[in-house]
Each structure stands twice: as C-alpha cells, then as structure tokens.
Amino acid sequence: MALKNAAERKEKDLNEFLELIGNDTRRAILNKISKVPLSVSELAEMLKISRQAVHSQMELLKNFGLVEEFEMPEKRGKAYKIKDNISLSINISPNYFSIKHNLSKEEKEIDIIEQQTIEICSDLDSFKSESEKIQFLGREIQELDKQLNVLDQDRNEIILRKECLLRQAKDFLYKQYEEKLTLEFRNQGKEILSTFFFNPEKFFGRFDIDNLINEMFFSGGPIQRRTNKSTVEGLLDDMAKMLDFLRKDKDDFWFFEF
C-alpha cells in the first residue's frame, strides 16, 4: 500500500515501513543513493545483482515514498535519490514503546531549506578556491555533528526521566484500577492506561475511540474492530467512574483534566 499523505499513516503503514527497511538489499540501495543519485544499471553493477532485482526493490521504495526518480541528462535516463526530510525515531524501554516517522516535506520546511542554502552560498563567496570552500564545509559539518551529539545526550536524559515518570504513573494507576476491575478486562484496561501515558501529546488533549484503537495495534477485520471498540468504550466508561480526571464530552470525545 502506497503511503499517500500524513493523514493516512496508520499502524499498518508503519509496520510496512519497518519491514521495508529491514531488507538488506533495500538498505544497501538506500545507503548508495543517499550519497549520490544512481540509475538502476549503476546500482545493479555496484551491488552485483540483476537490474530486474534492483528495479523491483526500487519500485517498493518509490511507491512507499522513500525515494524519487528524476531525469539526469548526463546519465541518459532516470536516476534515483532519497526524498528530502525523512526521519524515524524509535524509543523502547520496559515502560515505553514509541515509533515516529515523517516522510513528508511541508512548505515551511522547503522555505527553511532554501533560506539555509542561500546563507551557505553567501558564506562560500568569501573563499576563492574550491579547496577552501570544501574545507569550510567540512568544518561546519564537524561542528554540527558535535551539536547533534549534545542533543542526543540531552534526549537520552529526557527519555530516562520520562521512563521514570511513566513507571510511577503506571504504578499508581494500576493500584487504583486493579482493585475495581474484573480479571477478564484487567490487562486490557492496563494497556489503555499505559497507552494514554505513552503518547500524552495524542491523548491528553481531546481524542476519540478510533484514535485509541489505532494506537493499541488491534488486529482483525471490521467485525473484530467493532467488538474491540465496544470493549474499549465500556472500559473507558468504567475508568471515568474511578479516575476523576478522565471525562467524555457531549460529542463522545474523551479528554483528561490535568
């Protein structure tokens, strides 16, 4: 299934994305074209596989939105490159599992890229030789790498603190919730509570049942989904009676009063 726009990115798209980049050949292709645009024949020669194999893998990557093709007159045909502004973030811990991906390029991001390019070109004008320009770019890239390392360290500290907060929140919620819910629905109730705190940006505002169902990775067809939805709705009603900060409005949307 091709990824068409941000609104259509469901869990099945994410699973397909992870499966897509889990293949050795596709990762090798992405690695090559991340450095320089290449044609199918060039990739086949570099990877020592058939052109048909490269083409089939490239079609999967292209249909999903990871790569794009364009005409290169000097190559007398089409070449491929990775699309701009693709990011993937994965966090896994005993109390936290989250995957975020972005395959789109918004208009404001295009403007930022163009502005950055103009500023870089302006800086390069002060250098006379190509060697000096490359040295300047190398120093700038090295400095940015240092900044990224600092951000990574800060991010790790933030994730660890979030992990501790999640653990405490779950402990308190489970103690209150476990005593009042039947064993049959206890684990599902705990999963709902955990899902709220895994993704506060999604669920601490106004949300509906469908969003919650999607986040809980339920499997099955439409009939099973309706059954799951009915179960989750019942559990939410029970939770609202026990947790005085969980509310439902007149339009059947849920929200937290924090």
Burial group, residue 92, by CB count within 10 angstroms (0-12, 13-18, 19+) = exposed
Q: Do residues 17 and 74 share a domain?
A: yes
Whether 213 is covered by a domain: the verdict is yes
Whether 172 is covered by a domain: the verdict is no
Whether 218 is covered by a domain: the verdict is yes
Q: Do residues 50 and 114 share a domain?
A: no
Using only C-alpha atoms, the chain has a radius of gyration, in whole angstroms, of 24
Q: Do residues 96 and 146 share a domain?
A: yes
Q: Which two tokens stand for residue 99?
A: 């995957």
Q: Which domain holds residue 54?
A: 6-83
What's the rounded Cα separation, in Å, for the pair 238 and 196? 15
Q: Do residues 79 and 92 share a domain?
A: no
CB of 246 closer than 8 Å to CB of 192: no
35: CATH: 1.10.10.10
Q: Which of 38, 59, 83 is the last residue of a domain?
A: 83
Name beta bridge partners: 161.
none
Q: Do residues 15 and 56 share a domain?
A: yes
Q: Do residues 68 and 32 share a domain?
A: yes
Q: Do residues 21 and 69 share a domain?
A: yes
pLDDT in tens, the chain (258 residues): 333 344 344 444 677 888 888 899 999 999 999 888 899 999 999 999 999 999 999 999 998 888 988 887 766 778 999 887 677 777 777 777 777 767 665 556 667 777 888 888 888 988 889 999 999 999 999 999 999 999 999 988 988 898 888 888 778 777 776 666 555 566 777 788 778 877 777 788 888 888 888 777 666 667 777 888 888 888 888 888 877 888 888 888 888 887
Q: Do residues 226 and 243 share a domain?
A: yes
Whether 234 is covered by a domain: the verdict is yes
Tokens 């045909």, located at residue: 77
Whether 106 is covered by a domain: the verdict is yes
Q: Do residues 76 and 93 share a domain?
A: no
Q: Phi and psi for 248 in degrees, rounded to 5?
A: -125, 135
Q: Which of 27, 59, 83 is the last residue of a domain?
A: 83
Whether 171 is covered by a domain: the verdict is no
What's the rounded Cα separation, in Å, for the pair 114 and 120? 10
Q: Do residues 187 and 221 share a domain?
A: yes
Overall number of domains in the chain? 3
Q: Do residues 78 and 94 share a domain?
A: no
Q: Which two tokens stand for residue 55?
A: 């083409």
